[in-house]
Amino acid sequence: MAKAAKTAIKTKDQKAAADAKNWTKVIRTLRSPKSGAYTFKEAIVHKDRIKDHLAGL
């Protein structure tokens, strides 16, 4: 039998757990001009600054 998934994460610091929900992992696909191969750039960005981050790349 498979283990049951836990629905809630239990932490000692509830404020840190609530703040973690404000961050997003942004993955951008870039193409190399030299070889034509695709590469991926990953970053952890605050949800209010996603558009600024994508505009700067």
13 assigned to some structural domain:
no
- The whole-number pLDDT of residue 4 equals 63
Domain that holds residue 41: 21-56
pLDDT in tens, the chain (57 residues): 566 655 555 656 777 777 888 999 999 999 999 999 999 999 999 999 999 998 985
DSSP H or E run through 27: strand 23-31
12 assigned to some structural domain:
no
52 assigned to some structural domain:
yes
Cα separation, 22 vs 45, whole angstroms? 9
Q: What is the dihedral of CA 52, 55, 56, 57, to 10 degrees?
A: 130
Instruction: Give how many domains the chain has, as a whole number.
Output: 1
- How many C-beta atoms surround the C-beta of residue 50 within 10 A? 13
Query: Residue 42 carries which DSSP code?
Result: E
- The whole-number pLDDT of residue 45 equals 93
For the whole model, what pTM was predicted? Answer: 0.59
